[in-house]
Chains A and B, each alone.
Chain A
Amino acid sequence: MDVDGGSTSSDSTRVRSIPIRSGQCKAFLSQFKQQSLPACKPVLTPAWVIAIHLLLGFVFIPIGLVTLHASRGVLEIVDRYDADCVPEEFKGNKVSYIKDTSVPKNCTRILKVHKYMKAPIYIYYQLDNYYQNHRRYVKSRSDQQLLHGLKYNDTSSCKPEESNNGLPIVPCGLIAWSLFNDTYTFIHGTAELRVNRKNIAWKSDRDHKFGKHVYPFNFQNGTLIGGGKLDPNIPLGDQEDLIVWMRTSALPSFRKIYGRIEEDLEADDVIVVHLMNNYNTYSFGGKKKLVISTSSWLGGRNDFLGVAYIFVGSSAVILSLVFLLLHVKNPR
């Protein structure tokens, strides 16, 4: 687009400029009202079009390559365990297994580290086919109650989990009720791998959204138990798993942080994971995965953006060549 200087509208010359200071405002008003403000009128010339496309190409392809490199640099170990952790005799009926409290839920997984992973290494649990973004689910919470506790009575937004046996529930709502409650312990070699479970939730959430003096009350006492229970002696502001869970995910396939490993893992290290497979995803066919991943400036590992950038960049270059050909063959 031709936007260089000197391309102001020709009719701006018609409006005489008034030298007096007070007159300038008036002159502007008249220009405004007469719609003859000085204006730049870009016109697409072939040269500009080709240049723009070439520029796009030469900016986007490198960005794409860098992004792809960064994404590939993120190492992750993904282990789906929901199916394998069901004992043989319950393979036919997974729901009865997860609902039967007498059956032990512990399960052991062995993960192999393929490449050197540099600390900090993040531990996520990943749920697939889990619509945490469902309209009614998302709304079933009370931010006021999370901050002020029992002092805040209007918990109508929390339906259907706002009270039990005539007493209010803290934290109320379906989101809290469905708290994820699988737990993991990691054995590296002979010793237990130290997992930092502090500071996994956003600091802004811990400080300003969840009360420091709000304790769980009457939680998970109903006939229908949704998910994890909370220690009634720890204030909500310190229940980081809850805080992480309450930040509802945007997409039906999502990860949530579980903790951080603060030591490097060498290649070919073997990690034994003892996990408690408590959370019921079997009734709706959701998948549970354990993810151990490093991170980069980009975020997690996702090749899509890099590929997209390379694709857009190369199509821009091709288009610029097409325009060049058009211009040479069929000049106006």
Chain B
Amino acid sequence: MELVRVGQAYFMIRDTLMYDEASNSAFQCRALNINEDLGQIKFVFSDKTGTLTENKMEFQCASIWGVDYSGGKDSSVNEQVGHFVQVDGKILRPKMKVRIDPELLQLSRSGNNTEEAKRVHDFFLALAACNTIVPIAFDDASNPTVKLMDYQGESPDEQALAYAAAAYGFMLIERTSGHIVIDIQGERQRFNVLGLHEFDSDRKRMSVILGCPDKTVKVFVKGADTTMFSVIDRSLNMDIIRATEAHLYNYSSLGLRTLVIGMRELSDSEFEQWHSSFEAASTSLIGRAAMLRKVANTVEKSLRILGASAIEDKLQQGVPEAIESLRTAGIKVWVLTGDKQETAISIGYSSKLLTSKMTQIIINSNSKESSRKSLEDALRMSKKLITVSGTTHNNGGNSGDAVSPVALIIDGTSLVYILDSELEEQLFELASKCSVVLCCRVAPLQKAGIVMLVKNRTSDMTLSIGDGANDVSMIQKADVGVGISGKEGRQAVMASDFAMGQFRFLVPLLLNELIFRYVLFTCFTLTTAINEWSSMLYSIIYTSLPTIVVGILDKDLSRRTLLKYPQLYGAERRQESYNSKLFWLTMIDTLWQSVVIYFIPHLAYWGSTIDAPSIGDLWTLAVVILVNLHLAMDVIRWSWITHVAIWGSIVATFICVIVLDAVPTLVGYWAIFDIAKEGSFWLCLLAIVVAALLPRFVVKVLYQHFSPSDIQITREAEKFGSRREFGAVEIEMNPILEPSRR
């Protein structure tokens, strides 16, 4: 068993479909015993950022002073348009290229002449300055006259914004603790960084206070829209704020991450006041963070809105397909994200987690009572929907998949009230009716809480995928945790088609071995017909080797077919291939085989001159041939390695028996040569094999005839599909798509 696991882990590691070129890292299997669990997973919990998405941010569009600039086309990006700066006779160019809106580029280059241009100027200045990016210039390997500017920072959002600013001519060149140098349209300007309030999850914004070359002091703030609008001076430019809000809504429904940027000028007195309290706070020993936060709040107020930026969080390659496969396979996908509800839903759409066919149930409540009420409403609604969809399924026949098209969207504040209360039960009931659950605005601990909620109430396997520290608790709680390292995540979700169905016959086989031994050593209570060497070799080479090889190499269907019809994955999870009925059938079958093996030689040689080692040889050979043929009956793909393993094992057994019987000091010396001279030996062998396997064969055929499994049908379709027309395959495939099977 362990050997098979190792082998499977090896193949999982070597599988190029799970190989990620970007990070040059392959799939790693860190625990041996979870391979077969992978086939039994029913719930998948996924983090969004870094798992579904690449965590590679790209600046997409901006709304500045109430005007939306999102006309940029990829085609407009070329070497000439990209901004660059001459430094020491070398050209300095940002490492990443960004989509550029030509109109905005024009505006940003036009200088400070118009009000509009001034806002654009401030906006990009904010993008370039309001961050903790450290710029590093390095030589371009391909072109010695070009230096590339690499922005390194803790948040990919900031990097994306800084690259965007650079592309529009506001290139951050140098950062020290006291000042930053920004190259604005070829003109180098030095700003003193007077203070910096770092991003924290309460304020959800950061600010920087700059002393500009013209002796004014400005504070630039950027942050999440919910917290930013509360600190923006609403008395000013109400229409601009409204326009920006409308743009923000558009952006987030496109699945973009948005940030709002604001600024104001500080008067000298304000600055002095802030400066003294900032100094005091940053040098205080106790409660520094809280004091700094307070100081920040004093300065981040009555801001003038500059605009908003939208960053695309690019979905990972293949994610929509993977999610769709998972969903059609009947696996419940829960996405737990810290994003805003709109963002989460739009990501859901773009990753095909949500489809237009689905009915969305949204729970957004602020108190325990209201969340209870909305849960009850949602439950009623989902029940109604399921009965309706059930009838349409029956009438409509081929209506796609058996999954009830209900999606639950719940936010973190509601979860706070639901978790750790009696409402948990209702939530689970509701969630188990939904095929997709989207939790937004959830804290890391809540993620773990949700996983526990499901795990405690079902016997199904759960799997968690996540990339960052905030997912650790969730990964640990789930039965199977998949960790993704680094910024470039991997398509671990694609692993779902692996390891399928390969353990289906291992358990029966192991049972077989046990029973053979049981029968041979109890029916024949006090004897040692089979010598110790043989019985030792029996478990080592005669039978385990082919089992291992087949267990590793055999697969039901080709990967393509499996990905095409992910419903088949359900078979494994429904434990079609291995349930208790089958267990007892296997037991009876095994018992029959044991009886045949034992009694055919027993009766055939009753009252004859046969000696114990000879009949032991006969039993050994019969058991090995039988076990191998038994295995062969379950093999689906006969590659030459399988042939070698199975037939080679039988041949090896013959050779071993002959070798063992050629050792004069062993009891069974020359036994095989003596017994093989008589015809009854060979007749016994043939009779054992056929009589033992015939009932199994018949049952198998009958089973396939009367209730073919999905796997079986697809297998036939796969085989004959290569000969017939493709259309014929489609017709044959139709029954699989039926929701109810038996």
Contact = CB atoms under 8 A, between A and B. Distances in A.
Contacts of A253: 606-607
B600 to A, nearest CB: 7
B11 A35 contact: yes
A135 B526 contact: yes
B279 interface: no
Interface in B693-742: 694, 697-698, 700-701, 704-705, 708, 715-716, 718-723
A213 interface: no
A147 B669 CA distance: 13
A249 B15 contact: no
B687 A309 contact: yes
B289 interface: no
Interface string A75-91: 00000000000000000
A177 B11 CA distance: 60
Given A254-B607, A312-B690, A67 B683 contact: yes
A204 interface: yes
A167 to B, nearest CB: 24
A141 to B, nearest CB: 8
B559 interface: yes
A240 to B, nearest CB: 14
B638 A42 contact: yes
Contacts of B558: 9-11, 36
Interface string A21-60: 0000000000011111111111110100100100010001
B101 to A, nearest CB: 43
A35 B552 CA distance: 9
A126 interface: yes
Contact of A135 (B528, B600, B680, B716): B528
B694 A133 contact: no
Give the bracket for the number of chain A residues in contact with chain B. Answer: 35 or more
A144 B678 contact: no
A316 interface: yes
A308 B664 CA distance: 35
Given A41-B715, A44-B700, A34 B639 contact: no
Contact of B639 (A37, A46, A136, A312): A37
Interface stretch (B86-94, B218-226, B239-247, B609-617): B609-617
Given A43-B715, A254-B609, A204 B665 contact: no
A134 interface: yes
A37 B640 contact: yes
Contacts, number: 189
Contacts of A132: 612
B366 interface: no
A10 B604 contact: no
A56 B528 CA distance: 34
B687 A308 contact: yes
B14 interface: yes
A135 B531 CA distance: 11
A318 B659 CA distance: 42
Interface string B497-538: 000000000000000000000000000101111000000000
A10 B527 contact: no
A302 B14 contact: no
Contacts of A40: 637-639
B605 A250 contact: yes
A297 interface: yes
A297 to B, nearest CB: 5
Contacts of B1: none
A250 B678 contact: no
A321 interface: no
Nearest to B559: A11
Contact of A10 (B526, B678, B721): B721
A59 B560 CA distance: 41
Interface in B1-54: 11, 14-16
Interface string A154-188: 00000000000000000000000000000000000
A297 B678 contact: yes
A254 B602 CA distance: 11
Q: Interface majority SS on A: helix, strand, loop or mixed? A: mixed
Contact of B15 (A34, A138, A144, A300): A34
Interface string A251-276: 10111110000000000000000000
Contacts of B690: 56, 60, 312
A92 B637 CA distance: 70
Interface string A313-328: 0011001000100100
B704 A44 contact: yes
Contacts of B14: 33-34
A209 interface: yes
B396 interface: no
B527 A133 contact: yes
Given A37-B639, A49-B701, A138-B528, A251 B602 contact: yes
B195 to A, nearest CB: 57
Interface in A226-254: 247-251, 253-254
B388 interface: no
B674 interface: yes
Contacts of A33: 11, 14-15
Residue with the greatest number of chain B CB neighbours at <10 A, chosen from A34, A128, A257, A305: A305
A202 interface: yes
A249 B612 contact: yes
Contacts of A332: 705, 708
Residue with the greatest number of chain A CB neighbours at <10 A, chosen from B673, B678, B694, B701: B701
A57 to B, nearest CB: 11
A249 to B, nearest CB: 6
B607 A2 contact: no
Residue with the greatest number of chain A CB neighbours at <10 A, chosen from B602, B607, B638, B701: B607
Interface in A273-321: 297-300, 302, 304-305, 308-309, 312, 315-316, 319
Contacts of B608: 251, 254-255, 299-300, 302
Interface string B574-613: 0000000000000000000000000010111111111110
A39 B642 contact: yes
Contacts of A308: 600, 603-604, 687, 691
Interface in B648-666: 664-666
A257 B674 CA distance: 14
Contact of A319 (B527, B669, B698): B698
A39 to B, nearest CB: 4
B700 A247 contact: no
Nearest to B687: A308
B636 interface: yes
Nearest to B11: A35
B612 A133 contact: yes
Nearest to B698: A319
Contacts of A131: 526
A254 B670 contact: no
A309 B555 contact: no
B528 A250 contact: no
B609 A323 contact: no
Nearest to A134: B526
| 5 A-B pairs with the lowest CB-CB distances in the bound complex, closest first | A204-B670, A39-B639, A39-B637, A250-B615, A37-B639
Interface of A: 2-3, 6-7, 9-11, 32-44, 46, 49, 52, 56, 60, 63, 67, 70, 124, 126, 128, 131-136, 138-139, 143-144, 147, 202, 204-205, 208-209, 247-251, 253-257, 297-300, 302, 304-305, 308-309, 312, 315-316, 319, 323, 326, 330, 332
Given A302-B604, A312-B690, 7 more contacts: A56-B690, A138-B528, A139-B528, A143-B665, A247-B611, A249-B610, A308-B600
12 contacts: A10-B560, A11-B559, A38-B639, A41-B637, A41-B638, A133-B527, A248-B612, A251-B615, A253-B606, A305-B684, A312-B690, A316-B694
